Amino acid sequence: MHDPQELLRPGAQAERRLSRRRYALDTETLTKLVRRRAEAIAHREALRQKLNSVTRKLAAQRGGREQDDLAMAKELKSQIHPADEAQRVAENELKTFLLAVPNIPSDESPDGGAEDPPVEIRRWGQQPNFDFEPRDHVDLATSAGILDLSRASKLSGSRFAVLRGAGAVLERALASFLLDLHTKEHQYVEHSVPHLVTPETMQGTGQLPKFAEDLFATQLADRTLYLVPTAEVPLVNLYSDETLARDSLPLSLTAHTACFRSEAGSYGRDTRGVIRLHQFSKVELVRLCLLEDVGAQFNLLLAHAEECLQRLGLHYRVVDLRAADLGFAARRTYDLEVWLPSQQCFREISSVSECGDFQGRRASIRAKRGATKEYVATLNGSGLPIGRTVVALLEQNQRSDGSINVPPALVPYTGFHTIQPDGSTFG
């Protein structure tokens, strides 16, 4: 969320900068809402001051005009409740407006959107070359009996998956490997967090109100809880409405959770296999820091996400996301895109984003600096999504007979280094 005065400050150029992400800031409406709130606050405060003055006068009086002052006090009290309500309405109207305004893109984010050529930063590793026609992950895993989409559909409908045998082991091994990497080497603190969170929690990181149609919601009596679309939501909001000690920052948090997304409007795209499911698991990385340190923390988080792919030997590239393609809460994003031989292209596997103090304001997370307080900056990145990583591992490590090699980094976690064409393991 934004400071409305900062959005309206001429030097901030918020209208121009937000237009880079193709968002039209309605400064006329915002100005009216800010003025309405200021007037409501001023009116309420004036009534309070008058009432306090009359109350003090009554306390000092002995005979004379007490009845007149009592009548005035009664009249003022009758006006204060409507004034309180008017202020509440004005503040809620302004807040509702501000909650729908996305983050301002960093000036370093390139212009353009998803339809423009990607701004490639670098590539890592060698593109796999095969002397046979590479199969996609669905054919490989289904023929080996380690992926069962039809039975998953029987359980839950489309866009769900069941992994069995070596497939399930590979999924579990990946999560354990990634958590060990991030906690033992990158010094993140692992968390086990709820998968159901309140609307306020979703609002804190920007999922609500913007992405309500992409979320799964549950209703029990008058209580609404949302299934998390990413562990970023509970991890950031662990510190909502708190003031952190400056020397406790940066905070490095990680969690492995199931993630739930309706993917509204994406039907027909990537619906084959496990690339785009309603339920998937992911190891998420979150960092909280001072705003002045966000650049260095962004580079560090990117390095941590890249190391996951490097340890697994997966060919990938880094792309600087264009301003009009940024997520709602992001100020700048680098996408990591892994090579999929069956599609002969790179596909997103991780987004590493810095949000400035946008989420810090929404969730009211501050850091104390001497006698002053400031909103913290937040960063998040996938490190990594399990399903898409399984896809890349299967496709980049397949052999002509349908067997699949397991990267050496995962062998201590799987207990095998090869998945045979029939789903059995060797090693």
Contacts of 5-9 with CB under 8 Å at 24 or more apart are: 5/34, 7/101, 8/34
- Asked if residues 253 and 188 have their Cβ atoms less than 8 Å apart, the reply is yes
Q: What are the two backbone dihedrals, phi and then psi, of residue 298, each rounded to the nearest 5 degrees?
A: -65, -45
- Report how far residue 270's alpha carbon sits from residue 153's, in angstroms, rounded to the nearest whole number: 16
Q: Which of 386, 409, 376 is nearest to 231 (CA)?
A: 386
Catalytic pick among 15, 93, 307, 348: 348
Residue 208, token pair as written in the block: 């609500």
- Report how far residue 164's alpha carbon sits from residue 171's, in angstroms, rounded to the nearest whole number: 10
Residue 183, token pair as written in the block: 């906690």
Would residue 361 show up in a list of annotated catalytic residues for this protein? no
- Report how far residue 283's alpha carbon sits from residue 175's, in angstroms, rounded to the nearest whole number: 7
Identify any residues that bridge with 419 across adjacent strands, giving them in sequence order: 404, 425
Would residue 388 show up in a list of annotated catalytic residues for this protein? yes
- Report how far residue 325's alpha carbon sits from residue 118's, in angstroms, rounded to the nearest whole number: 11
Q: Which of 205, 241, 242 is nearest to 226 (CA)?
A: 205
Catalytic pick among 261, 287, 322, 361: 261
Local structure of 341: helix, strand or coil: coil
Catalytic pick among 159, 306, 388, 403: 388
Catalytic pick among 106, 252, 350, 351: 351
For 418, which DSSP code?
E
Residues 6 or more apart whose CB falls under 8 angstroms from that of 304 comprise: 182, 186, 285, 381, 383
Helix 166-180 with 386-396: angle, nearest 10 deg: 110
- Report how far residue 44's alpha carbon sits from residue 105's, in angstroms, rounded to the nearest whole number: 37
Identify any residues that bridge with 374 across adjacent strands, giving them in sequence order: 367
Q: How many residues does the chain have?
A: 427
Tokens 């890249």 appear where? Answer: 306
Catalytic pick among 17, 276, 311, 317: 276
Which residues belong to the active site? 261, 276, 348, 351, 388
